[in-house]
Structure 1
Amino acid sequence: MIYTKEEIKQLDRITRLKIINSVSGIKPANLIGSANNNGKTNLAIFSSVVHLGSDPALLGFICRPRTSEVGHTYTNIQENGQYTINHIHPEFIKNAHYTSGKFDEDISEFKRCNLSEEYMKDFKAPFVKESSFKMGMRFKEAIDIKLNGTILVIGEIDHLILPDASLVDNDIDLEATNSVGISGLNSYYSLNKIEKYPYVKVNEVPEF
């Protein structure tokens, strides 16, 4: 099956969204928690969280083009400079999925989707209590992507919370975290470790 650029453009909107959102493979499924300066909380599912650097520890995610109905996550982050990134686990995939709805600003997805707010001392953004792998983030930079009007939001990890059993030989075993992945708009996958190899040194590359 081969699609040209023109044929992709001719697909109906939903089909195009599902296909193009899947071509990069399985992506991390995360809930981003935030709050405005009046204490109103917001929770939204994202599949675009990406590692940007280890020192400082930076993560980025993409905000879609904003309208008057959406964009509460970005607005909240701009207000108080803090947010959380929470892994999604099988026990609450359904709850997490429905946070993607375009709820009014005065409706908290935490309450509407039956997920619990959790706070750490001196950190204003809400964590997802049901998640065992989560990060408290401090906003650092926003980069406008002119090609499609999206925004790359960059933050630094301020708090890292993860299961004790997931740290093996100074490495995180994602299978042990029981985190899930996402593809397209609504398909979720479990993560299974297949193999582990050493850090590559050129003089140690085997013959294939």
Structure 2
Amino acid sequence: MKTFTEKDIIERLKKHFPEPWIDLNFENPYQLVVATILAAQTTDKKVNEITPTFFQKFPDPKSVADANLEEIESIIKSVNYYKRKAKLIKECCQKVVKDFGGKIPDTMEELVKLPGIGRKTASVILVNAFNKPAIVVDTHVRRVATQRLKISNGKTPEKIEKDLAKFFSKENWIYISKALVLFGRYICTAKNPNCKQCYLSDICPYEKKNL
């Protein structure tokens, strides 16, 4: 059973990440949409290496929508599944131009209609590009929420998202979504979690702490 409160977790997370960030580089919602599609099964570091060239060539959704697929592929070919990603990025931008006047929409309902954008990616865009409350459930958040802090016993991202949305108040969703991703990525890692340096270890119910 949980013996901690929302406040306990946030206070401790803020010692690690007073101002959490996202590891993908972007300057506007369009750039983050492209970066998140590229980042599937590819490191953020690799994505950040190719996006400057991409955005120089394609500064907005319309330029991508009008581009040849081969042009897009040639710039992103160093990422995994580049052919599929090129197709998704082009289709996504075509839909943005056709249905949203060339602007990335800023609601969950509209974002998930875009090719290549699932609920997790939509949450990332809402939180980081629009500063709107949403709960991001990536592999890191999933591990922290279920195996480590045991806030959720959900087996699906949807169930974990609901449990986190219930546990954390809405005004904290933006902070939590950013901080939990970083916490899972850099401290509460899948192998050999850094429990000795973790400010949450005193309240964490995880049975196999690496102390």
Superposed pair shares fold, TM > 0.5: no
Higher strand share: 1
TM-score bracket, shorter-length normalisation: under 0.3
TM-score, normalising length: structure 2: 0.26
Task: Specify which structure has the higher proportion of helix.
Answer: 2
